[in-house]
Structure 1
Amino acid sequence: MSEDSAQAHAPSGIASLPLLSWGSHIGQLFRSADDLRDFLVPYFQAGLENHERCLWVTEAPFSADDARAALRTVVPDLDAREQQGQIEILDVRSFYAKGAALSAHALIEGLLERERNALAAGYRGLRTNGNCSWVEKAQWDDFLDYESSVQQMVRGRRLICMCSYRHDGMDAAATRDVLDRHQFVLRSAASDLSDDARSATAADASDTADSPDSPDSPDSQDSQDSQRDLDAIQAIAVLGHDLRNPLAAIGAGARLLRLGKLDERERAISETIGRSVRHMTALIDDISDASRSRFVDGIPVRLRRDGLEASLRHAIEELRLAHPLRRIDLAMSLTRPVATDPVYMARMLSNLVKNALTYGAQNEPVKVTVSDADGLVLSVSNQGPAIPRELHERLFAPFTRGPVREEQRGLGLGLYIVAEIARAHGASVELNSDEAETRFTFRMPIGDSES
């Protein structure tokens, strides 16, 4: 790897994804000790060989002793590296207290302190993995807050964080939670049900429903419908992350090519590949959000009173990077904590800005304002042709889109998802459009308790 590449990327040790960007937050779904060993041993081997400091926090079915023994087979001087402090291999219970309240802030500060120490000691950065199957149901929401914080914190830092989740202990909603809070999620083929198992499960459900000895009661029918909905959500979620993984590999390959000496035509091709990856990833996000909204009667937001401003600013920075030739102006004034789901608020803002970039005047700025002076108000405006009033209501229906160039076409789900996120927050989205300006405005009341 060239020195320039080492500044932005690190070897992953994962065959399907040779490089990882510094500032990556990755998920892994596993079912067995073999899944953990197959992913994590080469992952940490690559980190050690790249002169990184490493932290491996693990538990059953792959204990710290198991991890140490497996890693020693490919890193013969592992014991010396441990003594020198290049790697820590810990059992979960020596890192997290069983049943204790989780403090996202304390955990984040611990990671940042380890990163600072690693850099001060001359290492290229810090690589981590944590087995998250220890998280109990009562701790799940707090742990998701931590994962959301990690997703924001790692960006721009010399950190690569991977979180491993036991897939057979998770329902569809929890799977979706994991997918939402990681840049992408890896899994082995063994971590999913086989086709035969899926067929058997479906046959069992069909036999139960059709049997004359077990007529459906309203409660049992509701339960079956609920399970089918969850199965559909999980199937779409798994499909989404299965597609994200090869897309991430394609994107990493395109970035790697751009680090080399390319002529103008080759660089243009690499940049086109990168744009296509971002576009396809956005389509996957839209399908996943729309399916969950449809099947569970709305997007299940997780409200918290911090993280909103950072999430919104990060969304704007990502859009500026993706559209370097366009101007996006941001004016934000948040003076108090407001209970929102920062992940979905950033998603909503991103969809609104993308819509403005696509349909607005290409030579005029997109303007974003956010304030809490009179409730939480977020608006996105652009200049360009007015939207006819008779189309206003239809724009928030799924699979509705306006005329754009072929490469800009989406599924027509962006504004539908915006409306669903607003509904989940008890808010509204207004559209005002005339020859001077088109403006979408999100309005959410703020109670006295949040003042």
Structure 2
Amino acid sequence: MIPIEETEQLSRKTGIDVLGRMPWGTHVCLFYQTRKDLIDILVPYFKAGLESNEFCMWITCEAVSEKQAKEALRKAVPDCDKYFKSGQIEIVPYTEWYFKEGTLELQQSLKACIDKLNQALTCGYAGIRATGNTAWVERRIWRDFIDYEKKIDDTIGRYRMIAICNYCIDKCDTSEIIEAANSHKFALIRRKGKWELIKNGDRKQAEKRFLDYQKQLRSLASELSLTEESDRHRIATGLHDKIVQPLIVSKMELDMLRKSVSSIERHEALSKICHSLGETIQSTRLLTLDLSSPVLHELGFEAAVAEWLVEQIQKKYGVISEFKDDGQPKPLDNDIRAVLFRDVRELLLNVVRHAHTHNVNVSVRKVGNQICVNVEDDGIGFDPDKVLAMDGKIAGFGLFSIRERLKELGGYLQIDSQPGKGTKVMIMAPLKQEKPNTGEKV
């Protein structure tokens, strides 16, 4: 293998406006949401590489298939087929690159990358330009894959390689976003419709800069979470206004028609239709509640939690629940209200799915300038230190993500649990502060 000499850090045209020109050894993490995001970044990236006499390799998965990748390249790259015929670009399924006879071989993949570079240089290419998608990576192998990414990041800087690793942001929790970004020199993410570049920099830099960088990522992850909540509310409102309400009106009209007909057969047929409509209305209402609680936006946090306890935990799962509210006014910013409700909902789902409990109690009270929410069960309990140390990767727990979301909003999470002794989770978050009255007349 042929490393880059220290004086040979030649910049390469990336084809991506926000990246511009980058030296060999650049390792980029791309956070995407849609197939269009991938195509918009990767097609000009490979177009620039092909035109710069670089060997190009696209490792695909279901996000963008081999066929879709070829079609996108053919639309953007003149005489694209000549590059395929000459072997200057290869499109490889992830199953062939990362696996050998069905077994994951990450170390072998790293060696294969160096071998590809040597072959490319021998054939007269300037170097390698590659991309790989991680949508196939399961949680059970996440830690191994991140270690693999770190080895690439430590190695790639010495060779004539440029790589973009693609992560679907909707499949990553906050901790995974941070880990993925930290294992690359740069991170690309779309924010408010525009692509932004976040620089990781030298890991030997001061701790403050590293913490600032992590704070940026937490902020972005929090913003994405709030955007998701807004979308869920919009969809739920649409379901209620455009589907549930018209269905209710239709059922009322059918009921009136059913009562007016004299034919027994028609009466029975209309009764069946009314019954079916009633079930559809109820199912759609439950779907709306799962997406976003209308009560949360109309009556507030406390009322929404109380309703969710009854409708979901008690009626759906059969777990006895109790809700207590101290009755004090607890004004919340819209963002904090949405995050709190999501977090409490996740905690309650964890209880019914994992705790093997018969009772769950939720209490809400005002403590100084904060709201305090306690979720308590009499289930099997667990070791909080072990769970949080694993960054929330125990299926269904998500405690790390809840803690990170609260931290970004100025709150915190406290867990009191032991195996066999149930669990008590306390959430604290800031209340909305009223603007002081200056006494000035307007």
TM-score category, normalised to shorter length: 0.3 to 0.5
- When the two structures are superposed, what TM-score results if normalisation uses the length of structure 2? 0.47
With structure 1 as the length reference, what TM-score do the two structures score? 0.46
- Structure label with greater radius of gyration: 2
